[in-house]
Amino acid sequence: MSTLPSIKRLDPTVINRIAAGEIIQRPANALKELIENSLDAGSTQIQIQAKEGGLKLLQIQDNGHGIKKEDLAIVCERYTTSKLKKFEDLSTIATYGFRGEALASISHVAHVTITTKTEDSKCAYRANYTDGKLAPPRPGQSADPKPCAGNNGTQITAEDLFYNMPQRKKALRSASDEYNRILDIVGRYAIHNAGVSFSCKRQGSMTADIQTTTTATIIDNIRQIHGSSVATELLYGERTFESQAFTMKSYISNANYSVKRTTLLLFINNRSVESPAIKRMIENVYSALLPKGGHPFVYLSILIKPENVDVNVHPTKQVVNFLNEEWIINSIQEVFQELLENANSSRTFYTQSLLPGAPATNADNSLFSTSTNKVAVYHQVRTDSRTTTMDSFLTGPIASYGTQSSISSIQDDANGTKRTNDVLEEEKNDEDVDMDTDSTLTYNKPSDTGVTSKADGSVDLVSKSQKRIKRDRVEVTLTSVLTLRKNVKKSEHIGMTDLLSNHTFVGCVDDTLALIQHQTSLYLVNYAVISEELFYQIALAEFNNFGFIELSTPISIKECISIALDTEEAYGTLPPQLQSKEQVAEIIVSKLMEFATMLEDYFSMLVNSEGQLMALPMLLRGYIPTMDKLPMFLLRLGTEVDWEDEQTCLDTLSREIAIFYSTEPPSPLPDNPAEYKRRHDRYLWQIQHLIFPAMKTTRFIAPKSLVRDGSSYITQLASLSDLYKIFERC
């Protein structure tokens, strides 16, 4: 006699129960499926009741299209669905449910009762289910659906959840915990489905814990469920990315709002899901903006072509995979950053002290982080400690990042005011923070922009906005300039122009390279080189019409040039001199003074009678070149510019300005890593938010030299269709 256990086929009911337990892990999972069914049925009113956290009873009543009497016998069997007929439909499915598993699963772990009435039926029908099949309500009675009274729509009740899975039941913590999860799910769907009224209450309670109306907007619903403290601080963003076939819509909290934990209401194709990657991106975006330990509120709804989403990764359909994930997340991140930055500008200046940390790139790109192909536009200038503080000479938008301050928009509610003052306190101690704005700088005569008191930001701002003067644009008729502009046009590479003016910015790879997308391809571009071309063209286009970047303290040109000469000497790159360094510097200063009027009129470069530099041209609103390059720029104005012939002079001068303004990361500051990080963050911020957008807005013409003789300033990395395949395999 063998004592070996024999292998037996599991009872199908047990199999189904195990499978059901996978899908329905707790009352909130069941409810989510039921809510989705109600929404699929076109309901505008969904009422939910729960007893003991849904474990004793979970009931949902809707006013949707109902279930036909004939179908009642099979709705709770597995794989019965009215939403999917053949496998291919899976890819274009637009409704929530499609696998016909939810009701079946619930009926395997609970006693289910369905009461339903379609519009054209005279009465409602009620049916009971156990293990997927019709069951008699009481022993000995018929299991057939029974006619009864009822409204159009469906009521589904699940009782004694997990009555046949005692272990599972024990594992669930507490009724109140489960009820909170129910409220969480109802809240999410209520917010997302503006136009549908939701209510949720404990059975027997007189008041609902959630109650929304059919006329409420998403914001109304957020206010209703999460309170007005968050609802008043939301920024709305909406964007369609045709190249990536997705659209997004979001309400995200601004910098005034900060709580202990991130609230992320995420919907992908109208299904509430979780995405750790998206959550990480959000926390990353906000980490620089919110006080330490502070977290945002984010409602985000994404629609992706259904065929690009795989919802079948996880039994609860809670986690979804989609193709193109990194791209999509990057694009969303960009939108969020834009929203937050614009909001900061229209709110208060205090965010300026927070913004410098704003991460402009994302760490994911470290994949490509090779700085080997860094192109030095010209010898890097390493200056002494005197020049490392040059940024602080600027009254310009260095701290404002191209934002516009508006005193009237300072928050006046209790919290807002407090917060603003707090930060103002901080700013009083922060030497580098400046209250000025670029808009003032762009149009004011320099004499109007002096900052009187850094500490007294508010007063300063008011007086500034009153003083704002807009300079009329001067039409340029100089043949020399027109010829130079034509030459640019002549050297155009049409394909590259199109590429750069219609790109989507993906992210900076390092201090010289960035990724952009154009149509279905991904390109690596050397923005250090391209930005020089960009600024050269801006210099020609804005000739005679620049705004000023004013220096708060005039800088001695001679001293500055001496620094450059010392550096050149230290690097052994100084040609043998006929004159002493001192004399060279003096000659250049007198040259610049001689041409001071021309420099001021044409290039907004102010040189005073003492040989000091007072202002530089504003080429791109909000953009400040790396000041480390200023000494070399001034030196080269003496050595590289031909001051005799008009056209050559304007050409070489524009070129030198372009070299100066072209992007170059700040020099390391070994003694002050925090300050270096601040400058470096600002540098990358400018790349993303000023340089690349300018390629679109300034009608930038890509010169043939960018692609000539195989020099790879723009390299195609991959085409999206290939990437799809890669992601698919992941």
- Closer by beta carbon to Mg ion, 31 or else 588: 31
Q: Minimum CB separation from ligand ADP for residue 72, in Å?
A: 9
Q: Residue 315 interacts with Mg ion (CB under 5 A)? A: no
Give least dist CB 33 to Mg ion, A: 5
- Which range binds Mg ion by CB under 5 A, 99-107, 437-445, 453-461, 491-499? 99-107
Out of 25, 29, 38, 61, point to the residue binding ligand ADP (CB under 6 A).
38
To the nearest whole angstrom, how small is the minimum distance from the Cβ of residue 106 to Mg ion? Answer: 10
| Token couple for 544 | 């005679």
> Using CB distances below 5 to 8 A depending on partner kind, what does residue 656 bind out of ligand ADP, Mg ion, none?
none
In angstroms, the CA 603 to CA 539 distance is 8
Question: Measured between alpha carbons, how far is 383 from 639 in angstroms, rounded to an integer?
Answer: 19
Instruction: Pick one of Mg ion, ligand ADP, none as the site partner of residue 66 (Cβ within 5 to 8 A by kind).
Output: ligand ADP
Residues 727 and 324: their CA atoms lie apart, in Å, by 7
81 binds, among ligand ADP, Mg ion, none (CB under 5 to 8 A by kind): ligand ADP
Among 62, 427, 510, 664, binds ligand ADP (CB under 6 A): 62
C-beta closer to Mg ion: residue 318 or 501: 318
In the set 23, 31, 76, 102, which binds Mg ion (CB under 5 A)?
A: 102
Q: What are phi and psi of 156, to 5 degrees?
A: -120, 130
Handedness of CA 692, 696, 699, 702 (dihedral sign): positive
Through-space distance between the first and last CA atoms of the chain, rounded to whole angstroms? 52
Q: How far is the CB of 154 from ligand ADP (least distance, A)?
A: 4
How many residues line the site for ligand ADP (CB under 6 A)? 23
97 binds Mg ion (CB under 5 A): yes
Residue 48: which H helix or E strand, with range? strand 45-51
Query: Which entry of ligand ADP, Mg ion, none binds 99, CB below 5 to 8 A by partner kind?
Result: ligand ADP
Among 26, 32, 69, 99, binds ligand ADP (CB under 6 A): 99
**Distances from the Cα of 81 to the Cαs of 119, 129, 295, in angstroms?**
20, 16, 41
Choice between 23 and 218, CB closer to ligand ADP: 23
- Site residues for ligand ADP, 588-647, by CB under 6 A, read none
Q: How many CB atoms lie within 10 A of CB 675?
A: 16
Q: By CB under 5 A, what part of segment 21-60 binds Mg ion? A: 37
- Length of the chain, in residues: 730
Q: Which of 53, 54, 64, 356 binds ligand ADP (CB under 6 A)?
A: 64
3-state secondary structure of 297: strand
Select the residue interacting with ligand ADP from 27, 66, 237, 402 (CB under 6 A).
66
26 interface partner picked from ligand ADP, Mg ion, none, CB below 5 to 8 A per type: none
| Residue number with CB closer to ligand ADP (73 or 219) | 73
> Quick one: 46 or 290, whose CB is closer to ligand ADP?
46
- Pairing outcome for strands 606-607 and 714-719: unpaired
> Which of 27, 54, 100, 617 is the binder for ligand ADP (CB under 6 A)?
100
Least spacing, CB of residue 329 vs Mg ion, in Å: 28
Instruction: Candidates 100-108, 436-444, 571-579, 626-634: pick the segment binding ligand ADP (CB under 6 A).
Output: 100-108
Decide: 441 and 426 in contact? Cβ < 8 Å: no
* Stretch near ligand ADP under the rule CB under 6 A, chosen from 62-70, 180-188, 192-200, 395-403: 62-70
197 belongs to the binding site for ligand ADP (CB under 6 A): no
Residue 684, binding choice from Mg ion, ligand ADP, none, Cβ under 5 to 8 Å by partner class = none
Closest CA to 367 of 551, 178, 233, 515: 515
Cα angle 419, 425, 428; round to 5: 140
The minimum distance between CB 200 and ligand ADP, in angstroms, equals: 16
Interface residue with ligand ADP among 75, 273, 484, 599 (CB under 6 A) is 75
Q: In this structure, which amino acid lies at residue 44?
A: T
Q: How many CA atoms lie within 13 A of 474 on its CB side?
A: 14
Which three-class secondary structure string do you get for 121-135? CCCEEEEEEECCEEE
Q: Which residue is it, tokens 């002493």?
A: 580
Distance CA 430, CA 292 (A): 18
Number of other residues whose CB lies within 10 A of the CB of residue 504: 18
Instruction: Write out the two tokens for 415.
Output: 């919290």
CA dihedral 106, 108, 113, 115 (to 10 degrees): 60
CB of 37 or CB of 442, closer to Mg ion: 37
Please classify residue 102 by burial: count the beta carbons closer than 10 Å to its beta carbon, then call 0-12 exposed, 13-18 middle and 19+ buried: buried
Strand 234-241 relative to strand 146-148, pairing? unpaired
Could you say which of 61, 154, 351, 395 contacts ligand ADP (CB under 6 A)?
Answer: 154
How many Å apart are CA 401 and CA 393, to the nearest integer? 16
Note whether 81 binds ligand ADP by CB under 6 A: yes
Four-residue CA torsion sign, 44, 49, 55, 57: negative
| Residues 6 or more apart in contact with residue 253 via CB below 8 angstroms | 230, 233, 234, 235, 296, 297, 298
* Residue of 27, 54, 97, 631 interacting with ligand ADP (CB under 6 A): 97
Q: Does 107 bind ligand ADP (CB under 6 A)?
A: no
Which of Mg ion, ligand ADP, none lies near 67, with the C-beta cut-off 5 to 8 A by kind? ligand ADP
Binding site for ligand ADP (CB under 6 A): 33, 37-38, 41, 62, 64-67, 75, 80-83, 97-104, 154
Binding site for Mg ion (CB under 5 A): 37, 97, 102
